[in-house]
Structure 1
């Protein structure tokens, strides 16, 4: 089944630098709807997917994460955790934060 336009838009935003803006907007909406809403659950899942994507990026880079990746992962994790996420996302963030940083030459 081909992806819908909404799916394509979501994937484009998640893969872009606009992800932080999307998360901020979604978090404001979540605050309006409470922590147990489907919107909250959906945002939590998207944040977990982003953490998984960042971990895959790190693994593809031979297990090395630069400071920028670590900072972005921490921001995503903080939002994820604020929405009640834990467990798997916590371990992913820990793996990213514990990864070695490539030496500069």
Structure 2
């Protein structure tokens, strides 16, 4: 009788642990998917900000303040940290070469 109880308890414990492991794996996959989507979304927004700054101060040729250049550096650092590169690097480089204005905006 003790052997049967031990056998049933082992079976119940194994089933419970398997279910818990499956739940945890599912939870981790969902969390990883959300983090990946958030990182991608943030990367898109940061790139958009670089495009906006580039359009105004490089394409339109308006004088760029030091504050805007510092913002562009911060935006690019975050963008690059999320894996963005290529076009963002080109935009950043051209923003850094833009004419500097002494006035604050």
Aligning the two structures, in what range does the TM-score lie when normalised by the shorter sequence? Answer: 0.5 to 0.7
SS of the residue 2:63 aligns to = coil
Larger radius of gyration: 2
Structure 2 vs 1, CA of residues 33 and 68 (structure 1 numbering), >3 Å: closer, same or farther?
farther
Q: TM-score, normalised by structure 1?
A: 0.59
Whether 1:68 and 2:67 are equivalent positions in the alignment is yes
Q: RCO higher in 1 or 2 (8 Å CA, sep ≥ 6)?
A: 2
How far apart, CA to CA, are the structure 2 residues paired with 1:95 and 1:83?
21
Unaligned runs of at least 5 residues, structure 1? 1-31
How far apart, CA to CA, are the structure 2 residues paired with 1:93 and 1:60?
13
- How far residue 68 of structure 1 moved from its aligned partner, in angstroms, is 0.8
Alignment coverage as a number of residue pairs: 72
Structure 2 vs 1, CA of residues 46 and 75 (structure 1 numbering), >3 Å: closer, same or farther?
same
- How far residue 100 of structure 1 moved from its aligned partner, in angstroms, is 1.9
Alignment RMSD (CA, Å): 2.4
Name the counterpart of 2:54.
Answer: 55
Contact 2:63/2:98, CA 8 A, preserved across alignment: yes
